[in-house]
Amino acid sequence: MPVLTGVDLLRIQQYVFGSNRLRDVAAASLAVELATDRGAGLHLPDEKIVLAAGGNAVLVFEGLEEARHWTAGFTRRLEDTLAPDLEAAVVHREFAPGGLAQAWLELQDDLAGEKLARRPSAPQLGLSVTAACALTGRPAVDVDEEGTVLGRRYAILREHVGSLRDRWKNFLPSRLDEAPGWRAEFPLQLDELGRTRGETSLVGVVHVDGNGVGHLIQHWLQRKRGARDDDVKREAGEWSGDLCLLSKAVFRALVARIAARVAVNAKENVPELTGEPEELKFPLAVQPARTVYLPLRPIVLGGDDLTFVCDGRIALDLAAAALRSFEQQPVRHLGTEGSDIHLTACAGVAIVRSHTPFYRAYEAAKMLCASAKKARREVDGDEASKGSWLDWMIGFDGPLETIEDARQAYRTDHGELSMRPYPVTVPSRAGTWGWLEEEVLGPGPPGRREEGFRGHPNWVRSRNRVKQLAGLARSGGQEVKRQLAMWRASQRDLRLPGGLDDTGFVGGKTPLLDAIELMDVHLRLAQLRTGREQGR
C-alpha cells in the first residue's frame, strides 16, 4: 500500500540565528535549505516528491519499509554532512489509491502530534573535553582562522561558506548602470553591510510572512478530496512552485531597487547608495577588483516566508517594497474554487545596533510581523481590501516579552503616541504607510515637496522645533495646538504636515513620534529621476 511521508524540520529560526556572525547565519540558512533539496538532502526522484520547500517535505513511497529505510538515510545525512544538531519530525501514513488528499490532511495532524509528543534531545556531551565551542558551548572540535574555538555544528557549517557566493549569484545585477565598471556582491560580514564609520551603525532584520497561506492550503486539500492522486500531485507541484518563485521574485525586485541607486561619488570615486533625503546617502563597502557589496543579505527565501538583513537606513523602504512586490506574484489553485490568487503579507522590521544578537533581533522582527497581522485581522473588510501591513521598532536593547509591553512607552492618558502598525498596499490616506512616509515625514515625490517634516521649509529649517513636537505630543493634543499658536506669531502659514489638524492626533493616536523617529534613519530608495525601470 502506498505511504505518504511528512518531514518537518524543527526550531529552524533558532538554528539559523544561533550565531551573531553573518556568515554563520547565512551558512546555517543554506544548510536548512539543502536539507529539503531534492538532490542534496532528499536524494529522491521527482515522482516521489509531492512537496519540498521551506523546511518541509511531503513524499510518496511504495510501502512502509521503503519509507522507513529512506528516513534512516535522511536523518543520518542531516546529522553527518548537512546540518548537525538540526532536528526533524518524520511521520508515515498509508493510504489507498485515490486517497492522497485525505491522507495529506491527516498527515498534518500526525506531524503536529509527533512534535508535541517527541522527547527533546539531551545528549551527555563534554566528558573529558577541555574546550567548549565559543558559539554553542558544546564540545569543541576545531579552531577557525581567527582563533575561535568551534564545535562540530559550526565546523561543518563553515564548509558551506565557500558556496555561499555562488548560491545567490543569479540574484545579482549583471551591471550597475550608475557605477560602470563595478560589479556587485552580497556581503558575508556585518562590516560589509554599509556601516558608516564614526556613526551609530544600525542593522535591519526584516521578516515577511504571507497572510493565511496555511488556511488556503487546507481549503485546497479539502476541495481535492476524492480527486485522482496524479491531479493532486500535479496541482501541489504547481502551487508550491509558484510559492518558491514568489519569494525569489520579491527578493530580485529588492536587489534591483538597490542597484538602481548605486552611484559613484565623483569626488571620492567610491560607490554610494543614494536616495531621499540626500543627506542620508552613504558609501558602500568595496573590495579589490572593483567589487561593491550591496547593503543587503538574504537569509531565508522560503515561499511565502522571506527574511533578510540589510543596513538599517533602508530596512523600512525595502520592507514596504517587498510587500508591494509580494502582491504582484500570482499563485495557482489556492484561490476560490481553485482559481489563481494574489497573496498579501505582513512585515516586521527590527532596526538594531550592529552588535545586537541576531536571534534577539529576529525574534523581535517576528513578533512585529505578528503584531501587523493582528492589527490587520481587526480591520473590517474582505482579505483583498485589507492589503499588506508593516510594523517596526528601532534601537531596543534587552529581549522583548511582547510588542504590547514595548508599546507601553507610547501610551499616555492623552492618547497613543504611535499609529503603528501601518497598512502599506492600500490607497494612500491618513493612517497608511504611504501617507506617513510621503506627507507626514516627507519629502514626497520630486515636484511635490510642500508637505512633510523633511520637505516643507518651515520644518526643514527648524529641526529643534520638530523634535520639540515629540515632547509636546506626550502632553496631549491641546499642548501641541497651543504651541503651534505661539509659533504662528512669527510664521502665520505654519501647519502640521499630512493634513493633520492642530492637535496632531487622529482618532486618539498621533503619527508625530513615528515620523520624528524616522527622520534620521529612513532613506527612501525612490526610482531614479531618469525614469528607468527598477525591475530590470
Instruction: Note the pLDDT of residue 198.
Output: 55
Instruction: Note the pLDDT of residue 127.
Output: 67
Residue 75, C-beta contacts closer than 8 angstroms, at least 6 positions apart: 88, 90
Residues 98 and 247 both lie in one domain: no
Domain that holds residue 376: 168-400
Residues 229 and 306 both lie in one domain: yes
Domain boundary among 363, 382, 400: 400
136 within a domain of the structure (yes/no): no
* Residue reference for cell 502598525: 421
Residues 93 and 198 both lie in one domain: no
C-alpha to C-alpha distances, 267 to 264, 270, 271, 272, nearest whole angstrom: 9, 8, 11, 12
Domain boundary among 52, 82, 117: 117
Residues 227 and 363 both lie in one domain: yes
66 within a domain of the structure (yes/no): yes
CATH number at residue 225: 3.30.70.270
Instruction: Note the pLDDT of residue 529.
Output: 41
When computed from its CA atoms, the radius of gyration of the chain, rounded to whole angstroms, is: 25
219 within a domain of the structure (yes/no): yes
Residue 253, C-beta contacts closer than 8 angstroms, at least 6 positions apart: 321, 322, 325, 534, 535
- What are the beta bridge partners of residue 184? 292
Residues 93 and 182 both lie in one domain: no
405 within a domain of the structure (yes/no): no
Residues 64 and 200 both lie in one domain: no
The angle, 0 to 180 degrees and rounded to 10, between the axes of the packed helices 315-326 and 229-259 is: 140
For the entire predicted model, the pTM comes to 0.91
Residues 381 and 235 both lie in one domain: yes
Q: Nearest-CA neighbor of 293 among 202, 196, 185, 194?
A: 185
How many angstroms separate the CA atoms of 515 and 303, rounded? 32
Instruction: Note the pLDDT of residue 124.
Output: 66
Residues 232 and 381 both lie in one domain: yes
Residues 232 and 298 both lie in one domain: yes
- What are the beta bridge partners of residue 60? 4
Residues 190 and 110 both lie in one domain: no
Query: pLDDT 10s digit of each residue in the chain, 536 long?
Result: 999 999 999 989 889 988 888 889 999 999 999 899 888 889 999 999 999 988 899 999 999 999 999 999 999 999 998 899 999 999 999 999 999 999 999 999 999 999 888 777 666 677 676 788 888 888 888 888 888 888 888 888 888 777 777 778 889 998 898 899 999 999 988 888 876 665 668 999 999 999 999 999 999 999 999 999 999 999 999 999 999 999 999 999 999 999 999 999 888 888 999 998 888 999 999 988 899 999 999 998 888 899 999 999 999 999 999 999 999 999 999 998 889 999 999 999 999 988 888 888 999 999 999 999 999 999 988 777 899 999 999 987 667 778 888 888 888 888 899 999 999 998 878 899 999 999 999 875 555 555 788 888 888 888 888 889 988 999 999 999 999 999 999 888 889 998 999 999 998 999 999 999 999 899 999 754 433 333 33
Secondary element (H or E) of residue 305:
strand 305-311
Identify residue 54 by its one-letter amino acid code: G
370 within a domain of the structure (yes/no): yes
Residues 174 and 113 both lie in one domain: no
Instruction: Note the pLDDT of residue 407.
Output: 86
Q: In the numeric block, which cell numbers belong to residue 54? A: 521551506
258 within a domain of the structure (yes/no): yes
157 within a domain of the structure (yes/no): no
How many angstroms separate the CA atoms of 231 and 286, rounded? 51
108 within a domain of the structure (yes/no): yes
The angle, 0 to 180 degrees and rounded to 10, between the axes of the packed helices 463-474 and 477-487 is: 150
Domain boundary among 117, 149, 183: 117
Q: How many domains in the chain? A: 2
Residues 103 and 187 both lie in one domain: no
Instruction: Note the pLDDT of residue 397.
Output: 64
CATH number at residue 89: 3.30.70.2220
Instruction: Note the pLDDT of residue 398.
Output: 67
